[in-house]
Amino acid sequence: MESIALKDKQIFAISRIVKNSSGARPIEFLGKIIKEDGEKDSELILQYFHFLTKEATEPLCRLLGELNSGKWRKMICNNLIELCKEDIQPLTKFLSDRNSLLVCQILYVLGEIGHPSTMKYLRGLVGHRDPKVREATLQILSKFGAKGKDFILKFLGDSLSGIRGKASISLARAAKDEAVKPLLAIILSEDFYKRDLNEKTNFFKALAETGSKEAIPVLERIAKKRRWFQKAKWNEMRVCATNTLKAMASNEAPLSN
């Protein structure tokens, strides 16, 4: 319409056709084509995507939850990123969907858009039943730096050690000095030394990420302290503390000429 001279009636007609092609029924039919023989018609489908308007957002989200093909899910996500980069509201309603895979896909789209209002929609996902959703939520929060630290802090108490470990590092990177106190509180808790080595390693690595000297005396005490009860588990703590002290010292060392 921008490249050729058109009359008002022609512009109206074309606009109406394009808008109607972004409705629920056409997108539903598009999904049927993708599922039946998407590879054969892929070029035509990609061309169709170029004409979609904001009205296609909700139908595309519903279709996203139905597709098994990673390729087409990626294509739809890319389109949603473009359609919603100025307004994420139509996406947020799908964060409460029962389909955890769809929720993760929507979180990916929101993370790529990076809209400043995103975090207020993530509160209910911190305790989501599906760990994949919780992990995807944590990943998005990490992109918002210090603004996401209060939510990230909640993941330190997650039921899965892998998520707790990742949360510790995300918190350190987001909050720096402010992360030291909550990290040390967990490391010094009564049963922390009994946790698996990967989680302990992540928490100590998080302390190194803060670069705070406040943690050094505590790390030195852990590195020197010996226990006879569950000796192997405590020795893991000592090794982690020693390695963290070395990493922090290395980061402070002046660069050689």
**Lookup: tokens for 41:** 């018609």
What are the strands, taking DSSP E only, across 111-189? none
- Measure the CA–CA gap between 102 and 124, rounded to whole angstroms: 16
- DSSP-derived 3-state class of residue 127: coil
Distance CA 90, CA 44 (A): 26
Q: List for the chain the helix, strand, coil content (%; round to 5).
A: 75, 0, 25
| Half-sphere exposure of residue 175: CA atoms within 13 angstroms, side-chain side | 22
Instruction: Read off the tokens for 57.
Output: 């957002």
Q: Apex CA 70: angle with CA 69 and CA 74, to 5°?
A: 120
- Give the residue from 79, 86, 77 showing the smallest Cα distance to 53: 79
Q: Are 135 and 105 in contact (CB under 8 A)?
A: no
Token duo for residue 186: 């967990």
Q: What is the pLDDT along the chain (257 residues), one digit of tens a residue?
A: 555 555 555 444 445 555 556 778 888 888 888 888 656 667 888 888 888 889 999 999 999 999 988 889 999 999 999 999 999 999 999 999 999 999 999 999 999 999 999 999 998 999 999 999 999 999 999 999 899 999 999 999 999 999 999 999 999 999 999 999 999 999 999 999 999 999 999 999 999 999 899 999 999 999 999 988 889 999 999 999 999 999 998 876 443 33
Q: Are 210 and 180 spatial neighbours (Cβ–Cβ below 8 Å)? A: yes
The model carries a pTM of: 0.85
* CA 109 – CA 74 distance, rounded (Å): 10
Crossing angle of helices 57-64 and 70-84, in 10° steps, is 160
